[in-house]
Amino acid sequence: MSSIQLIDRYSRQVAVIGREGQEKLAKARVAVIGLGGLGSLVSMYLTGAGVGELTIVDYDTVNLTDLHRQLLYREEDVGKPKVEVAFKRLRDLNSSVKIKPVNEALTEENAEDIIKDADVVVDALDNWMSRQILNETIVKLGKPLVHGAVNGWYGQVSTIIPGKTPCLYELVQVRSLPQCVGYCPVVGPVVGVVASIETLEVIKLITGIGEPLANKLLIIDGKNWVIDEIRLSRVENCPVCSKYLKNKK
């Protein structure tokens, strides 16, 4: 990365994370799974931040009901594949970032191939079935996952590091945390808050600066502005972790 790039594009960020931090971002590969409310905003922030390679995954098309929170898209994009629109917009935002579009749903057949080269994976999904697939894959491959979810005025964020923190199965199934099933109402700016926190977690994991939300679940109540942090610990009999991590100890 040239000094001109650092000064002209990333000067305000380099003032915080340093040249070394910016160079780590430039070498990093991040996979964002889902390009809805969370994923579209996370992708924009990571592209602006200058990550080296960004894999974006979604199979859906832009709907009019998406536009109040998915600010990457415009009215003219309704009906178009999200991945195709996102690829062009993100490339226009920062041409130095390599954008890898995957216009597919995440499945048991393709999940490992999609995220095998990623340094960090972002959970921007909107259904538990796909999250189960993603969770098993990141645990199997030992990839850190930044999880985010929204519902109404509420949002949550946690960083999962296989073998060191509870996996997503433990968060949802064992600890009975709420999950949105089917149609999920949401206030647009809540999505922006959660997406911003997810992006910060990715940057912290890549640069090694700051303390990520490992073994913590951040709960955001945007209606009453209550932010709570729940301390977490691993469940030894987790069927996902015990399946994939027992041979790595």
Assessment of whether the complete model's pTM goes beyond 0.85: yes
| CATH number (domain holding residue 111) | 3.40.50.720
Q: Identify the pLDDT of residue 185.
A: 87
What DSSP string describes 1-67? --HHHHHHTTHHHHHHHHHHHHHHHHH-EEEEE--SHHHHHHHHHHHHHT-SEEEEE---B--GGGT
**Mean pLDDT across the stretch 70-99?**
97
Average pLDDT, the chain: 92
| pLDDT exceeds 90 at position 187 | yes
| pLDDT exceeds 80 at position 241 | yes
The fraction of the chain above a pLDDT of 90, given in percent, is 82
18 band by pLDDT with thresholds 50, 70 and 90: very high
**Mean pLDDT across the stretch 148-174?**
90
| pLDDT exceeds 80 at position 184 | no
| pLDDT exceeds 70 at position 4 | no
CB-based contact 56:43 (threshold 8 Å): yes
237 band by pLDDT with thresholds 50, 70 and 90: confident
| pLDDT exceeds 90 at position 177 | no
| Model confidence pLDDT, tens digit, residues 91-122 | 999 999 999 999 999 999 999 999 999 999 99
**Mean pLDDT across the stretch 157-174?**
88
Task: Give the structural domain span for 184.
Answer: 3-245
Q: How many domains does the chain have?
A: 1
CB-based contact 54:32 (threshold 8 Å): yes
Q: Identify the pLDDT of residue 176.
A: 47
